[in-house]
Amino acid sequence: MSAPKSGEMVLHLPTFISLLVEKAGLDMEHTRYLGIELKYYVPIIMSFLVGCLLVGFALLATRRMEKIPRGSQAFVEVVVEGMYNFLHDMLGKHTSRYLPFFGTLFIFILVMNLWGLIPLMESPTHYMNTTLSMAIVVFVLYNFEGIRIKKLGYFKHYFEPIFLAPLMFPLHVIGEVVRPASLSIRLYGNLTGEGLTLGVLVFLTPWIFGNIPVPFHLFMVLLALLFSTIQATIFTMLSTVYLSLAIEEHEEGH
């Protein structure tokens, strides 16, 4: 158990990183490397491992492409087709352009959410830095694409209705800033609550059952599979909606 000064997390299950640090006689809370406390390297390392896993699987699944897919190639094609159908309702003719980004975003978040269910691992999305960084990327993307497609006309909505422009402009700006904040806080809050519950149940198991190895937290693990998928879907869906609003043509009337 740990309680960092930042209050970001109240309870940590042991990870291979914390065990290695402890074996080396160091302290996660007070030892610094390059001016950063060791505990803040945990989500970076975990995110890197998730990325390596996904890249490795993608290379394995596509190394021998066949006309009649089977095995991992068939699985990947089903996932891609499902993501395309999911995004098409919101992006329409723009789906093919943005499918790689949002498909990768969804899978990356989903695997990061589930990563903490592996013994000695921890979900990177238990940290605000991870969720906020992804939300900022989404924020930059949809604003960049809106400006690329609409040019200066993209900023027109900041002043609508025009007769209330002095009042509406700051409100629209605040609304834009709140979007990445709400995306990151929603994902962080739900995954942190899920992780804390799992951690509490794991610590309670030997206290309640003594030496009997009963997986008291098993039910929560099953719920975590569902909640992790839902949270990844919500993050991706809201990100897609923000993009569709930024690039929509006025005559389409979305």
172-219 pLDDT per residue, tens: 888 888 999 999 999 988 888 777 777 677 666 655 555 555 555 566
Domain ranges of the chain: 43-252
pLDDT digits (tens, 9 = 90+) for 86-132: 999 889 889 999 999 999 999 999 999 999 888 889 899 988 999 99
pLDDT tens digits along 134-153 = 999 999 999 999 999 988 88
**pTM of structure:** 0.83
**DSSP at 63:** T
Count CB neighbours of 151 within 10 A.
Answer: 9
CB distance 123 to 113 below 8 Å: yes
Segment 4-47, tens digit of pLDDT? 444 444 456 778 888 888 888 887 777 788 878 888 889 999 99
C-alpha to C-alpha distance for 142 and 146, rounded to whole angstroms: 6
Task: Please give the DSSP secondary-structure letter assigned to residue 37.
Answer: E
The answer to whether 103 touches 77, Cβ cutoff 8 Å, is no
* Strand spans (E) along the chain: 32-33, 36-37
Listed residue (238, 216, 191, 224) closest to 46, CA to CA: 191
Residue 248's pLDDT band, with cuts at 50, 70 and 90, is: confident
Angle, vertex CA 133, rays to CA 87 and CA 7, nearest 5: 125
What is d(CA 143, CA 84) in angstroms, rounded to the nearest whole number? 22
